[in-house]
Structure 1
Amino acid sequence: MRALVYDPDNGLRVAEVPMPEPGPGEVLVQVEACGICGSDRQLVRGEGAPFGTSYPVVLGHEIAGRVARLGEGVSGFAPGDAIVVHPFVPCGQCAACARGEEHLCPHQGVIGFTRPGGDAEYVAVPAQNVLRRPEGLDPAEAAILVDAYATPYRAMVSAGAAEEEAVLVLGTGGLGLAAVQIAKALGVPQVAVLSRREDAGALALVCGADEFVTLGDDPRQAGRRLRRMAKGGLGLALDTSGFADGVAFALDVLRPGGKLATVAMPAGDMPVSFAKLARKGAALVGSFGSRREDVEALLQMAAEGRIQPDVVAGRRLSLDEAPDAIQNPFFGRDIIVFDAP
């Protein structure tokens, strides 16, 4: 079968690889769609990979498809079932897993990094990572729910976004645009967006943003606009971009006692003013990955029309177009689409 393969010596390429077989406790998935994530791009740029990544690796961890075959001991699914795949495979035995924080498992595997991913016609995955997909939900839109949406959802739920009157989202990539929709779906009355790109404003507003500012705006005027919107300051800023100037701006507009949460993983160190954090009594919170129940909640939200992944879904590409797309990002989330089963 054909797959998108990467290794540091031979680069990124579409290649013929062996057809996977589902082992005990696994499901063979015929892939319908797989999103291209920023972490795929980071890997190809040599900016780091999850611990345990082995090369050559078939990329792709935002997977939607249909069950093709069941491995030994798997029940509850049948060939043809519409599904998505949660990409994180926790060990189930460590202290983090015992606390119910399996998304922070230090021993977890990641589909598309530590085991073959979904940028291929077929992929074998653990049955515990397979979730039913509402039949009416487009596979390309469903695929990006498992990470582009699930990552900011986990961060916002952990940071208590639903209790805030105003939230600022930093960044207008796939994660940032998804975060705007999620904040609104969680009931946040006012959501602002900060971007480096002036041309991202229209899409941010379509996603539900109430205010849009750029790093090119006068920071004092932009700050005053957001404080007026938030009646004195924002309770939560979610960083999806990892730019130091954006984080500095967010710290300025946070209200006393506010939170700065980040899901960004920039290649270099990020300078943060600890003096400003201390004076404001603000909290700095990191968030990684997601839980299976996060994806379940997002599938329900999408089925009910509370979030609109079609707005975040960017270009729909063939497998042959994927290498160029990984090196040349687009607004929203690029998605590899395969022929329907």
Structure 2
Amino acid sequence: MLAALLYGQEDLRLETVAEPTPAEGEVVIRVGAATTCGTDLKVWRRGGHARMLKPPTLFGHEAAGDIVAIGHGVTHWHVGDRVVANNSAPCMTCFFCQKEEYSLCYNLLFNNGTFAEYLKIPAAIVQHNLLPLPDGMPYALASMTEPLACVLHGAARSNVKPGDRVVVLGDGAIGLMFVAALASGLGEWHHSQRSAVSGQPFGEVILFGGSEQRLRLGKTLGAAKTFNYRQVEDVPALVKSMTEGWGADVVIEATGVPSVWEMAIACARPGATVNLFGGCPRDTSITVNTERLHYSELTLKGVFHNTPTHVRAALTLLASRALPFEHLISEEQPLAKLGEVFEAMKQRQVVKVAITP
């Protein structure tokens, strides 16, 4: 089969590899669509990831498709079932899993290889994070379950309250998903799996980014105000001018750039929560003013990945069509053009692309 392998920094190759066969407890799916992700772009540019993968390796982590083979012991799935698989599963037995802190699982299993014709799903993911697709749900839309699950997890950890003013720094797919979730009052989707938006937004969501096209999309997804940071001399000062001089109640950092982590902290009011969501390069450090951190009682949170509960909530939300997440998919391209797609992502010409084998 044709598959993409990452060998190192911006070294992505399409190669012919053996088709996977399922071991006990595993299934193999024929990929219907695999969506690109900002994390994929960062990994491609950096040549690796601290937790998810080490080159050379099969690449890509968002996909939906049809089951084509089933391993021994799999009883609840059948060939032909339409499914979406999260890219990970917790072990359910370690110290953190026993505390239901599944994103911190010490044995968190990751699965890569969605940019391919077929994808093998490990037994742990089959058991905990393989979900059936509702009838008629497009594969490309379902493929966004994993990133949206991460966003719902992040939103739930951000302490957003009704009436809060939230600043989102970053207009990539994750930042735009945060805008949609928070502007629509979905930060508490982890408590239920409702099929429709509550219609009770938390408050005002303000988006900062560097692309006029993406900022317009942010408006479509519910941002009350959008700003191109390239045209703003002092972002924290602008935030304070819009908040009676205090700063934002909640700040979401969604770029993974160390200087923007520091900017996020500077945008926060006393007592605020700063969600440092974007993953920075390995061994990165930032500077924090300890006096401000202490006397302003700031809450700084690093939030990582997702949980099985949020995976299910994300699929339910996508299937409901309550929010226009399909607008995040800029185009559809065949697997053979994956290299060109990543160059376009590097130039910020596209948000997400649906790759079809």
TM, length-normalised to structure 2? 0.85
Once the two structures are superposed, the pairs formed by residues 179-198 of structure 1 within 5 Å of their partners are 179-185=178-184, 186=186, 187-198=201-212
Asked whether the equivalents of residues 31 and 66 of structure 1 are also in contact (C-alpha less than 8 Å), the reply is yes
Distance in 1, matches of 2:52 and 2:220, equals: 39
SS of the residue aligned with 2:242?
Answer: helix
Once the two structures are superposed, the pairs formed by residues 247-262 of structure 1 within 5 Å of their partners are 247-262=261-276
Equivalent residue for 2:189? Answer: none
Asked whether the equivalents of residues 164 and 236 of structure 1 are also in contact (C-alpha less than 8 Å), the reply is no
The structure-2 alpha-carbon separation of the partners of 1:276 and 1:213, relative to structure 1 and needing over 3 Å to count, comes to farther
Equivalent residue for 1:299? Answer: 315
Asked whether the equivalents of residues 170 and 195 of structure 1 are also in contact (C-alpha less than 8 Å), the reply is yes
Equivalent residue for 2:336? Answer: 320
Asked whether the equivalents of residues 36 and 335 of structure 1 are also in contact (C-alpha less than 8 Å), the reply is yes
Distance in 2, matches of 1:52 and 1:156, equals: 22
Alignment of 1:150 onto 2:166: no
Distance in 2, matches of 1:9 and 1:157, equals: 34
Asked whether the equivalents of residues 10 and 47 of structure 2 are also in contact (C-alpha less than 8 Å), the reply is no
Asked whether the equivalents of residues 29 and 67 of structure 1 are also in contact (C-alpha less than 8 Å), the reply is yes
Once the two structures are superposed, the pairs formed by residues 20-169 of structure 1 within 5 Å of their partners are 20-51=20-51, 53-112=53-112, 117-125=113-121, 126=123, 127-128=126-127, 129-147=129-147, 149-161=148-160, 163=162, 165-169=164-168
SS of the residue aligned with 1:302?
Answer: helix
Q: Deviations over 1:137-192 (max 9, x none)?
A: 21111102212x22221111122335562211110001111111111231322111
Asked whether the equivalents of residues 173 and 331 of structure 1 are also in contact (C-alpha less than 8 Å), the reply is no
How far the C-alpha of 1:320 sits from its partner, in A, is 1.1
SS of the residue aligned with 2:273?
Answer: strand
Asked whether the equivalents of residues 144 and 313 of structure 1 are also in contact (C-alpha less than 8 Å), the reply is no
Deviates more, 1:60-69 or 1:324-333: 324-333
Asked whether the equivalents of residues 84 and 146 of structure 1 are also in contact (C-alpha less than 8 Å), the reply is no
SS of the residue aligned with 1:227?
Answer: coil
Alignment of 1:278 onto 2:277: no
SS of the residue aligned with 2:143?
Answer: helix
Q: Deviations over 1:224-270 (max 9, x none)?
A: 45316xx9542211111133454444334322211000221122433
Distance in 2, matches of 1:162 and 1:223, equals: 18
SS of the residue aligned with 1:264?
Answer: coil
Equivalent residue for 2:248? Answer: 234
The structure-2 alpha-carbon separation of the partners of 1:169 and 1:302, relative to structure 1 and needing over 3 Å to count, comes to same
TM, length-normalised to structure 1? 0.89
Asked whether the equivalents of residues 241 and 264 of structure 1 are also in contact (C-alpha less than 8 Å), the reply is yes
Distance in 2, matches of 1:246 and 1:54, equals: 26
Equivalent residue for 1:170? Answer: 169
How far the C-alpha of 1:77 sits from its partner, in A, is 1.9
Distance in 1, matches of 2:10 and 2:303, equals: 33
Residue identity in the other structure for 1:77? W
**Which segments of 5 or more consecutive residues in structure 2 lack a partner in the other structure?**
187-200
Distance in 1, matches of 2:285 and 2:341, equals: 27
Equivalent residue for 2:191? Answer: none
Alignment of 1:204 onto 2:204: no
The structure-2 alpha-carbon separation of the partners of 1:281 and 1:331, relative to structure 1 and needing over 3 Å to count, comes to farther
Equivalent residue for 1:7? Answer: 7
Count matched residues. Answer: 331
**Which segments of 5 or more consecutive residues in structure 1 lack a partner in the other structure?**
none
Equivalent residue for 2:190? Answer: none
